[in-house]
Amino acid sequence: MSKYMFLFRGGEPGVDPMTDPAGFGTYMMSWKTWMENLAKSGKYLGGDPLEATGRTVTGKAMKVTDGPFVESKEIVGGYVIVEAASIEDAVKLSEGCPIYTHDGVVEIRPVQHVDF
């Protein structure tokens, strides 16, 4: 078993939690359904959604800027870490993720084993 990180990019919910809380609730429930199944299989290790903006800190001088400023479909909107037997298995685990029906992308990256 190895760890894999799912990075979610794009995939706007299309509903505003402020103006349509019920619609947003339905959207979040679809995430729950997917993750609940993951959790039941024992392969879900954790994860969180991320705000669209924060701070970017660069260089020795630790230059702080607002950001990241990239196109919204490029922004990492959240992550999930799973346990899977192989990358193919990890891809299969992402099935049912609501982001696919919201025009978003899941980037699946194996956690690197660092030996030295």
The residue type at 38: L
- Tell me if 36 contacts another protein by CB under 8 A: yes
Contact between 98 and 85 (Cβ < 8 Å): no
Among 1, 29, 57, 64, binds another protein (CB under 8 A): 29
- Tell me if 78 contacts another protein by CB under 8 A: yes
| Residue 52 φ then ψ, to 5° | -75, -25
Q: Residue 83 and residue 81: Cα distance in Å, rounded?
A: 7
Task: Mark the segment that binds another protein (CB under 8 A) among 27-35, 63-71, 87-95, 100-108.
Answer: 27-35
Interface residue list for another protein (CB under 8 A): 25, 28-29, 31-32, 35-36, 39-40, 44-49, 78, 80
